[in-house]
Structure 1
Amino acid sequence: MNFIGRKTELEKLNDEYQRNGSFVVVYGRRRIGKTTLIKEFIKDKTAFYFLATEELETQSMKRLAGVIGRCTKNSLMKKAVFTDWLDLFQIIADYKPNEKKVLVIDEFPYLVKTNGAFPSILQNAWDEILKEHNVMLILSGSLIGMMNKYALSYDSPLYGRRTSQIRLNPLSFSELYEVQHISFEQAVMQYSITGGIPKYLELLIETDDLEKQIKKLILSKNGFLYEEPNFLLKSEFLSAVNYFSIIKTISDGNHKLNKIASMLSQDTSSLMPYLSVLMELGFVEKRIPITEKNPERSRKGLYFISDLFIRFWFHYVYPYKGELELDNMQIVLDEMNKDFVEKFVAFVYEDICKNIFQNLCMKSKIHFVCSRIGSYWLNDIDGNTEIDVMAIDHQNKQIFAGECKFHTKPVDAFVYFSLKNKVEQANEIKKSFPGYEIVYGLFSKSGFTQRMLDLAKENNKIILINEDELIF
């Protein structure tokens, strides 16, 4: 798989490379592409790349000495024995003193596991050796909890040393679709499972049938991703039982805090620390109606599984582990045939539409400056009001309200009239944004009827987006 996206992150790393005393922390969940990003950045630079592993500290020093020997073409380094990290860092600092060098310590938490004092050792090395000797230091790690604790938090000896940090997120749908050679529908279906995780995408073959690949990679007990959530969660937690239970409860359709607590027979107060950790790690997110002026204090928040692969796995793999252990995949395939598109893909499609809308705005194809983007829901007097995509443009005093339809038939005008009616009946929208002009949008994967096209031609406050292209 070729290097995709990450333009902002590469620009940030290159900006840091230009400054003196640059210390960057790069972190994010497993398979997110940290190492690929770093290797893309250092490919044309003098760089010492060291991948830490769970091994004895003496072995780690020996391997770093080997890295240094290869980079400096000093064969004696392979035979040398080191007992002090500072000696190794000094050799790096002394190499080509007038030339900028990059030192990468990948999977930094493994060194901390081996030696709890390593952050203090690295602090000393940075302050006394590396900082003033033309070295850019990059620390990277997949264990987000440990990266926060030992590289980013106030209590860490390294606190105050970093000049920048990059938390790597999944690739966006727009970034991927731009380079893929598959249909829009296929791309949406694929994204619904992989969630933009580079490693998962690398495992998929674009031309192969998606169901066939799901069976091979996810449903087979020998598949590469069959136990993936177990590895992800257990690598972060000593005991993953409570976290598993919370994710499973949310996966079953329980999104309100009191409902989640009730299903787990716990108080909401005892549940919050676990939810906070899951949100910090990027497994769960709290969504707030876009009309809320103080999202942090809002009681209207709903909890969702933000990692799309984990969401898929808990919905279609975890409940059927017994059958899958007996190589019975058909039960899962039957369940997917029932509701995968309607209840799973269609939900992900709403988030994809938000990304498409933002992308079109950034390219100035839509004259709308997004201050905030999300969704809206409220139990109004006359029924439930839900709006799939809602964005606010404070600069031009505009509200965008969008409806997403992942249907096989073209979207007709009645969808627009229904959306318009929902917005007009939602008094909270009017109260929250008095005087704001409403712009309506429809997203479709199958185009629009002639009636809808004619209506959009006559009204410049209607936006039609077919797949990822602006029609009107």
Structure 2
Amino acid sequence: MLAKPEAVFDRHAEWEALARFATSPAASARFGVVSGRRRQGKTFLLDALARATDGFYFAATEDTELESLRRFGRALAARAGTGGAFELHSWEEALRRLYAVVPDGLIIIDELPYLLSASPSLASQLQHVLDPGGVARETSSKLLVCGSAMAVMGNLLAGNAPLRGRASLELVVPPMDYRTAAEFWGVADQPELAVLLHSIVGGTPAYRHEFVHSDAPAGLGDFDSWVIRTVLNPAVPLFREARYLLAEETGARDTPLYHGVLGAIALGHNTRGGIAGYLERPSTNIGHPLTVLEDCGLVAKEPDAFRTGRSTYRIAEPLITFYSAVMRRNWSFLERGMAEQAWQAGQETFRAQVVGPHFEQLCREFALRNAYTLFGEPPSTVAAGTVADQAARTQIQIDVAVLGTDGAVLSLGEAKWRQTMGIAHLDRLRRARDLLAAKGHRVARTRLACYSGAGFTDELRKVANAEGVLLVDLPALYADPS
């Protein structure tokens, strides 16, 4: 196994999968696909892999087919040591030359969607060379293709796509989980700061250095100043990143509509009807942008744990949530360079509409990652849910519902970012458990859970200790699960 370079932070599973693919002793050619949202470090990983294996690496750019073939010809000639450039007239010819130059090593083609955009037949040509009788079959080369356009990469191996069934590796490089991100930013020992920071930059590694000039908050007291001097500063690349992400990922033409949909979700209007109502448009008008945002991984559609057919939408990229809820609403300040005023105007929205829901999502991730320890078995579902209380003519919101593989309710949890939780919160969970039992749900193994960013009352701690109620505060949320 290839040793992971010290410059690659974490990514142990990803590196192991890539290294195993690259060093496979298989005598025949292999094909793999690497994908993931932009800025997750895919290129960094693949470049490190190419260097470690002396592989051939080609990074595509947004060019015409002719210019891409010219660049590819120059890269191949450099690899062959001939100097100059190979004159290539088609990708069919280019692929034949590729396997002739690299018959037994690693080949990496990064940002494949750029090539596919200019040359849609490239996928079929790749299929042809990989099929029995194709030129790749005469070699032992390993070909990796990579891309950030999630919709394009997702369709590469789907359905009747030409390359379906050809890949021996399908690797998605996700954002870092919240604990790893805290370590990466150097705030693992400051959980409140870690939550606030993650609510803006999430687990995207590129935002740590390139996008903020390696500027990280010195402590909780420096957080507000950090937001003003980085995220809200027009001279810092992170300032425009959310808008660039939307444009790059979706290719949206009706940009105001897409921003409107994201803004509605960011402010808590997270059902299809709620989004349409907030925008004062028919729900049919928002179907297409929602589908596009889902396909490119910027929005996630999440089913209700207890109500079949009901689902909510969540923005999957924290920076876009922050932009939609805080920056876009205070743009009149920001475009005049008045970052402090913009932050002053947007802080309350940030705490309530951004950090609060984000904290709930972190709690669900905590429950999922620690399910064996906390509930004794793996879950089939960890999601939010609503329980109807007809007697009180209300609904009880369950922020962290954990369901077992047999459908049993393993846990019901409530999460509060700014509230010290007490008996009233526990009573609400008890009521939800009783209502679910009355509807036929299995609750014998249900563990009630309270997640709080502000702590718990002494009374709740006493009752929790006696009844086995799970209490998770910020230190527990970031504690080493071992």
Q: Could you tell me the TM-score, scaled by structure 1's length?
A: 0.85
Corresponding residue number in structure 2 for 1:211: 224
Pair 1:52-2:60 in alignment: yes
Pair 1:372-2:381 in alignment: yes
Pair 1:464-2:471 in alignment: yes
Corresponding residue number in structure 2 for 1:102: 106
Kindly indicate whether the alpha-carbon contact (under 8 Å) linking 1:55 and 1:114 is maintained by their aligned counterparts in 2. yes
3-state SS of the aligned residue for 1:437?
Answer: coil
Corresponding residue number in structure 2 for 1:260: 275
Pair 1:250-2:265 in alignment: yes
The 3 A distance-change label for structure 1 pair 372 and 429 is farther
Corresponding residue number in structure 1 for 2:333: 323
Kindly indicate whether the alpha-carbon contact (under 8 Å) linking 1:354 and 1:374 is maintained by their aligned counterparts in 2. yes
Between stretches 387-396 and 340-349, larger displacement belongs to 387-396
The 3 A distance-change label for structure 1 pair 400 and 245 is same
Q: CA deviation at 1:86?
A: 4.6
Q: CA deviation at 1:316?
A: 0.9
2:469 and 2:202 map into 1 onto residues whose CA distance is 30
Task: Map 1:147-162 onto structure 2 (within 5 A).
Answer: 147-149=153-155, 151-154=156-159, 156-162=161-167
2:374 and 2:444 map into 1 onto residues whose CA distance is 21
Give deviations 1:279-304, integer Å, cap 9, x for gaps: 12122222222124x5xxx0x22223
3-state SS of the aligned residue for 2:52?
Answer: coil
Pair 1:278-2:293 in alignment: yes
3-state SS of the aligned residue for 1:229?
Answer: helix
3-state SS of the aligned residue for 2:63?
Answer: coil
1:263 and 1:367 map into 2 onto residues whose CA distance is 42
The 3 A distance-change label for structure 1 pair 449 and 187 is same
Pair 1:61-2:76 in alignment: no
3-state SS of the aligned residue for 1:333?
Answer: helix
Q: CA deviation at 1:129?
A: 1.9
Give deviations 1:350-396, integer Å, cap 9, x for gaps: 1111112222235x365242221011214422123111111012469
Kindly indicate whether the alpha-carbon contact (under 8 Å) linking 2:252 and 2:258 is maintained by their aligned counterparts in 1. no
1:179 and 1:329 map into 2 onto residues whose CA distance is 26
Corresponding residue number in structure 1 for 2:240: 227
2:59 and 2:235 map into 1 onto residues whose CA distance is 27
1:349 and 1:201 map into 2 onto residues whose CA distance is 21
The 3 A distance-change label for structure 1 pair 69 and 320 is same
Kindly indicate whether the alpha-carbon contact (under 8 Å) linking 1:174 and 1:355 is maintained by their aligned counterparts in 2. no
| Cα root mean square deviation, aligned | 3.1
Kindly indicate whether the alpha-carbon contact (under 8 Å) linking 2:386 and 2:397 is maintained by their aligned counterparts in 1. yes
The 3 A distance-change label for structure 1 pair 288 and 57 is closer
Corresponding residue number in structure 1 for 2:18: 13
Match of 1:423 among 412, 433, 439: 433
Kindly indicate whether the alpha-carbon contact (under 8 Å) linking 1:320 and 1:332 is maintained by their aligned counterparts in 2. yes
The 3 A distance-change label for structure 1 pair 451 and 249 is closer
Pair 1:194-2:201 in alignment: yes
Kindly indicate whether the alpha-carbon contact (under 8 Å) linking 1:356 and 1:468 is maintained by their aligned counterparts in 2. no
Q: CA deviation at 1:105?
A: 0.9
Q: CA deviation at 1:153?
A: 4.2
3-state SS of the aligned residue for 1:219?
Answer: coil
The 3 A distance-change label for structure 1 pair 420 and 200 is same
The 3 A distance-change label for structure 1 pair 234 and 11 is same
Percent of pairs with identical residues: 22
Mark the runs of 5 or more structure 1 residues left unpaired by the alignment. none
Kindly indicate whether the alpha-carbon contact (under 8 Å) linking 2:77 and 2:85 is maintained by their aligned counterparts in 1. no
2:102 and 2:337 map into 1 onto residues whose CA distance is 58
1:266 and 1:418 map into 2 onto residues whose CA distance is 36
The 3 A distance-change label for structure 1 pair 443 and 397 is same
Pair 1:341-2:351 in alignment: yes
Match of 1:171 among 163, 176, 184: 176
Kindly indicate whether the alpha-carbon contact (under 8 Å) linking 2:76 and 2:86 is maintained by their aligned counterparts in 1. no
Corresponding residue number in structure 1 for 2:120: 116
Corresponding residue number in structure 2 for 1:133: 139
2:331 and 2:424 map into 1 onto residues whose CA distance is 43
Mark the runs of 5 or more structure 2 residues left unpaired by the alignment. 1-5
